[in-house]
Structure 1
Amino acid sequence: MAQETFAFSSSALRSLRLQRELLEQEERRRALARELSTRRLLPPAAPRPLHAPPRRPQYCRDPAVHNALYTGDLERVKSIFKDEATANMVLETVSEELVWSPEQGLWVLSPRKKQTSALRIAAARGYEDCARHLLLRGAEADAVVGGRGPLHDAAAAPRPACARLLLDFGADPNLLSAEGTAPLHLCTAPDSLPCAELLLAHGARVNLGTRERALTALHVAASRGLAAHVALYLRHGADPARRSRQGETPLNAACAAAERPPETPAYLQVAERLLAAGADPRAAGRKGHTPLHNACANGQHGLARLLLRHGADPTVRNGAGDTPMDCALRALREYPQQRPEGTIALLLLHGAGPVHPKMLRFCCGHPPALELLLNASERVPPADAWVGAVPPELWEEHRDFYASAVRAAGRPRCLQHLARCALRRHLGARCPAALPHLALPPP
């Protein structure tokens, strides 16, 4: 038997998968046609007057109904939801929550109502059979109950099978929730990529912004470090230069959100793809922060190097008057393990000027960074601005270094150091590219 078997080629496997998907789609279409034909055999409902008021929704607080939906009990769901009226019931829960009462000056228990629909619960839980039954019984695919529609919950969960079912039944991929978000904005987890692909394939607008902040799906994916989502949206025409209401570009959003060291590789991939698509590394966003300001403020050495390589300006000031170097120094105490001296050397190499002496107090507790900044000027600045901020135990540990830095304050530097400073000042941001071509003596 083993001698008669053979391996399928990749093209043959793709063809078989495509054929299987087409067969499954045809079976779903036939099942839907059978259900619809069955419904047409039922006695027609009485015609509603042209100017009749909209039907008032039915409300249900029965825990048994809720449990049937939350557990995905298809038989019980079929016995409860038999027609259009029951399929579109508003399911309501009331819970007691502590709220502050200014009149009484204390915390009091207050009832809070939460509303949802049967289709929302089934879509969020991934109960595809229950969702199909509800849709065939007349549940509205775009009904916004409790602030969201079923497709919002399917995308946020994420539940690709339910999202596909809703879209097949005509759900609007651009429907806005009460918060002003479309389903594509809720694809915020790595495993939501299939949902994002489905939404785009069914006409989701990739550059649609949220109602309040005008954030696009690219902003959301970039701020979450979702490199695969970013690549998908860019292939579908997402604009990397689109700004939010606060002036943030997706690159600004990615660099501002890259705070935790374990997530650095993901945000680095996001930034690389945005820059390759034409994102501006000098675009100033909220409070005048450029992507380089954000990267330095978060201690992201890799992001800073990438941005500088693509032309970011290390001398520009934000709305508070701080340069990227100032941001890197302010973040030094928070990120001492993320090579802060490497970021400082990088900024100096790309044309950042010497810092104001008062800024040295932010790095005086990190001798490698302090040494770099002291050597970046033609004359060592006075020690009065920073020496008092050195912790006593750190002074004892690095006594020789701190004592030499205090002694060197105000003294003239050697000719070699002055030549180095003059060369760096003359080249500015061209320094990394020009230095290899200079006829310098070996070290």
Structure 2
Amino acid sequence: MADNSKQGERREIRLGPDSFPDHPVGSKFVQDLKCALEQQDRERVNHLLQHRVKCVDAIIELSNDDWMKDPSAQLDPLVLLGLWSLEYKQELTSPLCIAAGHGYTDCLQYLLQRGAKPNMIVGTKNALHAACENAHTDCTQQLLEHGANPRLLTEDGLSALHLCNTAQTFRCAKLLLKYRADVNQLTEDLESPLHVVARQGLHNHVHLYLRYGAIVNTMNVHRESPLGSACGNAWSPESQEDYLQACKVLITYGANVNSVDDENRSPLHKASKNASLQLVQLLLKHKADVNAIDYNGCSPLANVIQTAPFKEELNPHRTVQALLNHGSRRVWPAAFPKVLKSCAGSPRTIEVLFNSYQQIQVTEEWMEAVPEEFFQLHRPFYESLFALACSPRSLQHLCRFAARKLFGDQCHALIPRLPMPKCLRAYLLLEPEDLVC
């Protein structure tokens, strides 16, 4: 824990873009420093910061794109027409920020021992922000031990804890909390650190923050909860397991599975849109409302149908199955041609949905809705579907529909318990067969 005698050093010092740099961008020192940083020459950077700077808290200008000072600058035509504006940007930093941001612990220790101010914000951030942003645990610890304030914000309104947004920053986050970082500190958009790590699927961070008292159902400016943030970003097949674990932890700590954002979208809406089957199953298991409607009039089922063509690698028909087996209302029959048109490349999604109806009239409009390329690619399925235009559904299917109607929204729970062959249970649960009859 930081020594109380150092509390006087924890004051915030901000040096903004109007501050005059001790080492301008055109100086020999900055040119040498930038070259050493580009080459990742640690020894050279250490030498420059320890022996060539004017003082340990010098202001260093790493870049300056003030194009107005250069009359020969070639400007984009859109700028000249006033359709696109350029902003003047100046990047200021300090020796301490450079050392912390690159993980140069020896140099950092040298600067701190010679009185460098750990809370001085130069440009947009201070050294602690730079260390956490780049997951340099040893630098983070050194700064905290020398009185760095973990609650100071960057110019963008982010605390050091908000910047711990990768798996590699876990130990930095632990140190910040040990030194009294505010786990519920909010940005201007009311984003908590828990929102940030939930959005990234960082389940270890999520668990850590909740153990330190993070508010599980806190809402950001869009009324989105951490659970909603996690479900909305679980789109990558490679990260599904991480998001699943993060959501499990959030729900264990009391996350509201039916919270809605400012567009009335629930976590289930977002998980369904991403065709995240395991997340959908988790939410349904914890009583998520399968028929919730957002401000666009969409249910979770409508969301997965809309995105199915773009999520084929995630088998969106499985998500459609899960929602229907938990009692989701089906698509209005008259809208089925639209489903065919948008989901033609996902015939199993069409099959699962089609088999949830007792009887739905196949018309010539259906045939016109399927693009020729998809018809040829999935010809056996579409031929079996369009053949039903002049024939009724099979008795087997009608029995399936009657059984499913009897079980209602408990199909998922009751059908697996029936004493019948596995293949029949799968049939009742709408398992696709790539043909319809």
TM-score by length of 1: 0.79
For residues 305-384 of structure 1, what are the structure 2 equivalents within 5 Å?
305-356=281-332, 357=336, 358-384=338-364
2:375 maps to what in 1? 395
Instruction: State the structure with bigger RCO (CA 8 A, min sep 6), 1 or 2.
Output: 2
The alignment status of 1:428 with 2:408, answered yes or no, reads: yes
2:118 maps to what in 1? 141
Contact 1:365 1:391 in 2 (8 A): no
1:280 maps to what in 2? 256
Q: Aligned-pair distance for 1:67?
A: 4.1
Instruction: Output one character per residue of 1:58-90: Cα deviation in whole Å (capped at 9) or x when no partner.
Output: 6322342574584454454333457xxx22221
The alignment status of 1:59 with 2:25, answered yes or no, reads: no
For residues 163-178 of structure 1, what are the structure 2 equivalents within 5 Å?
163-178=140-155
Structure 2: distance between partners of 1:349 and 1:259: 23
Q: Aligned-pair distance for 1:400?
A: 4.3
Q: Aligned-pair distance for 1:365?
A: 3.0
Structure 2: distance between partners of 1:300 and 1:136: 51
1:238 maps to what in 2? 214
Contact 2:339 2:350 in 1 (8 A): no
Aligned length in residues: 389
Change (3 A) 1:324 1:130: same
Q: Aligned-pair distance for 1:413?
A: 4.1
Structure 2: distance between partners of 1:385 and 1:305: 34
Cα RMSD after superposing both structures: 3.1
For residues 70-89 of structure 1, what are the structure 2 equivalents within 5 Å?
70=37, 71=42, 73-81=45-53, 86-89=55-58
Letter matched to residue 415 of structure 2: L
For residues 166-245 of structure 1, what are the structure 2 equivalents within 5 Å?
166-211=143-188, 213-245=189-221
The alignment status of 1:289 with 2:252, answered yes or no, reads: no
1:406 maps to what in 2? 386
Structure 2: distance between partners of 1:109 and 1:152: 27
- SS of aligned partner of 2:410: helix
Letter matched to residue 60 of structure 2: L
User: Larger deviation: 68-77 or 110-119?
Assistant: 68-77
Contact 1:364 1:386 in 2 (8 A): no
2:61 maps to what in 1? 92
- SS of aligned partner of 2:149: coil
2:92 maps to what in 1? 115
Contact 1:351 1:425 in 2 (8 A): no
Contact 2:340 2:369 in 1 (8 A): no
Structure 2: distance between partners of 1:415 and 1:109: 69
User: Larger deviation: 345-354 or 305-314?
Assistant: 305-314
Higher radius of gyration, 1 or 2: 1
2:430 maps to what in 1? none
Contact 1:351 1:424 in 2 (8 A): no
1:16 maps to what in 2? none
Contact 1:116 1:146 in 2 (8 A): yes
2:232 maps to what in 1? 256
Q: Aligned-pair distance for 1:397?
A: 4.6
Change (3 A) 1:111 1:389: same
User: Larger deviation: 57-66 or 96-105?
Assistant: 96-105
Structure 1: distance between partners of 2:233 and 2:159: 22
Instruction: Output one character per residue of 1:75-112: Cα deviation in whole Å (capped at 9) or x when no partner.
Output: 54333457xxx222211134446765767338999874
1:131 maps to what in 2? 108
- SS of aligned partner of 1:396: helix
User: Larger deviation: 385-394 or 338-347?
Assistant: 385-394
Contact 1:380 1:409 in 2 (8 A): no
Structure 2: distance between partners of 1:230 and 1:94: 36
Q: Aligned-pair distance for 1:239?
A: 1.8
Instruction: Output one character per residue of 1:338-391: Cα deviation in whole Å (capped at 9) or x when no partner.
Output: 112211111110101221323333223322222221111121243345422323
Change (3 A) 1:275 1:371: same
Letter matched to residue 58 of structure 2: M
Contact 1:120 1:149 in 2 (8 A): yes
Letter matched to residue 59 of structure 1: D
Selected match of 2:128 from 133, 148, 151:
151
Letter matched to residue 50 of structure 2: K
2:14 maps to what in 1? none
Contact 1:81 1:134 in 2 (8 A): no
1:52 maps to what in 2? none
Contact 1:123 1:154 in 2 (8 A): yes
Contact 1:351 1:427 in 2 (8 A): no
Structure 1: distance between partners of 2:250 and 2:362: 43
- SS of aligned partner of 2:312: coil
Q: Aligned-pair distance for 1:152?
A: 0.5
Change (3 A) 1:305 1:409: farther
Instruction: Output one character per residue of 1:231-273: Cα deviation in whole Å (capped at 9) or x when no partner.
Output: 1112111122111110111111111111111111111111111
Contact 2:29 2:52 in 1 (8 A): no
Contact 2:326 2:411 in 1 (8 A): yes
Contact 1:81 1:137 in 2 (8 A): no
Letter matched to residue 409 of structure 2: A
Letter matched to residue 215 of structure 1: E
Stretches of structure 1 that go unaligned for 5 or more consecutive residues are 1-24, 34-55
- SS of aligned partner of 1:351: coil
Instruction: Output one character per residue of 1:267-295: Cα deviation in whole Å (capped at 9) or x when no partner.
Output: 11111111222112221124222111111
Instruction: Output one character per residue of 1:276-329: Cα deviation in whole Å (capped at 9) or x when no partner.
Output: 221122211242221111112112122212221221222111121111111111
- SS of aligned partner of 1:93: strand
Structure 2: distance between partners of 1:352 and 1:241: 26
Change (3 A) 1:103 1:375: closer
Change (3 A) 1:419 1:308: same
Contact 2:340 2:370 in 1 (8 A): no
- SS of aligned partner of 2:60: strand
Structure 2: distance between partners of 1:103 and 1:190: 40
Contact 1:242 1:249 in 2 (8 A): yes
